[in-house]
Amino acid sequence: MGKSLKTNNTDNQKDIQPRLAICTALPKELAACLAIFDSTTPLNSDCPDDANQYWWGSLPSRGGGKPHQVLVTSLVKMGNNVAATAIANLIRSFPTVECILMVGIAGGVPDPKKVESHVRLGDVVVTNEKGILQYDNNKRDSNLIEVRDNSPKPGAFLIAAAKALEAERLLGKHPWQDHIARCNHLEDYQRPSSNTDVLRDSSDKKKRIKHPIDPWRNRHPNSPKIHLAAIGSANTLLKDAIFRDQLRDKHGVRAIEMEGSGTADASWSAGREYIVIRGICDYCDEQKNDIWQNHAALVAAAYARSLIENLSYHPPRQRADRNPFVASEGASSSVERTIIVSSNLSDDIEQLLVDLGEAKAEKTGINSLNARAWRCRRGLASIVSRACCFGWHSNTTGNTSELLLSCGPLGTRRRKTS
């Protein structure tokens, strides 16, 4: 059985084991992401020190498979440090989550001399295999500031789905348009007039630059163009067009934001995959304003749903109840764990002796410690194999035997007790 979590607006118990999670940084981004679901339900974490607010909903999967369970949350404020903390809490509260989508708005990096890579307001930039450039991770001396790129790369599973969507786009399919259209009733999220998409020269702020002629945009004047590229990230709100262009020319970034590197680090540390999806709302210059922010949040959310719908369904690998070990009552260290396992003496104990080796079993023993009793059926050998250090003794009562395990994190040397 998976971990049972109760929604806070119903008395019915629901087994919720989401494999995918959407994370946002701003209320306008959260609203856009909730809007692209058919329905969502507020959800509480069982961890009392997790400050995140959660919702969950279901979305279709690739090929008409079983629907995905998707978790949605938002940060308490912007920034890479906050993003890393929030994602760490998310994974701790919902260990079944394997893939994290950071979805929201970003500044665009235009390239008016190259039509294909030119980014405009309302476009969507998605991390490809180049991933995130943490441009405030620097090596600095008196003559040079060198950007040191060390953010972990996005997950191959998610990048493959994004590239499949790009192939569909080239074939004239734009599934995100349907998801944008379903939010036409949200007045604040409508696409602004193209007259507000103004690009200025990096060196001369008063000089207006014409956008390059793009045949694709002429055919799809109200559709976001999708860019698969590197994204720059830092704890800096960038309003410097010259530096923006330097990041473009040297590192190939097409969007700049403030949560991607924290998302990458937290996901990598927990062994999860991630991808960053950004709707473009400004050009990271001094003309930066909020006119396009809501619509940019919506197009990012619409693309995120399209990406999820292009993922095949698999049951979560990380089960919420996958670690059976519980803390011993009165244990002096949080690292130390003890378990009492009650088992059928005639079957499981004999199998245990085979697995541990009879000589080892006769040699090793530990005193009885205060512990919580946990009853199991078969599976005893697999439980023991997950402990890094163990001892046992038999205390037969009727047809059961108490088996005491002393265990810690893998690779931890444990003290023997006698």
CA–CA separation, 368 and 222 (whole Å): 71
388: buried, middle or exposed (CB in 10 Å: 19+, 13-18, 0-12)?
A: middle
Tokens read off for 172: 């004239």
Pair (208, 278) in one structural domain: yes
Pair (63, 133) in one structural domain: yes
Structural domain contains residue 314: no
Nearest residue to 121 via CA among 281, 256, 237: 281
Percent of the chain residues past pLDDT 70, beyond the cut: 72
Which amino acid, one-letter code, is at 48?
A: P
Q: State which residues form the domain around 341.
A: 337-407
Structural domain contains residue 284: yes
pLDDT digits (tens, 9 = 90+) for 165-175: 999 999 999 99
Tokens read off for 204: 């001369």
pLDDT digits (tens, 9 = 90+) for 233-258: 999 999 999 999 999 999 999 999 99
Structural domain contains residue 318: no
Burial 248-272 (b: 16+ CB within 10 A, else e): beeebbbbbbbbbbbbbbbbeebeb
Tokens read off for 144: 């040079």
The enclosing domain of 248 has a CATH number of 3.40.50.1580
CA–CA separation, 117 and 87 (whole Å): 31
Structural domain contains residue 329: no
Residue 48 CB neighbour total at 10 angstroms: 6
pTM (predicted TM-score):
0.75
**Taking a C-beta distance cutoff of 8 angstroms, is the pair 190, 183 a contact?**
no
Task: Give me the number of domains the chain comprises.
Answer: 2
pLDDT at residue 342 tops 70: no
**Taking a C-beta distance cutoff of 8 angstroms, is the pair 199, 101 a contact?**
no
Pair (138, 233) in one structural domain: yes
Pair (294, 350) in one structural domain: no
Structural domain contains residue 143: yes
Pair (218, 260) in one structural domain: yes
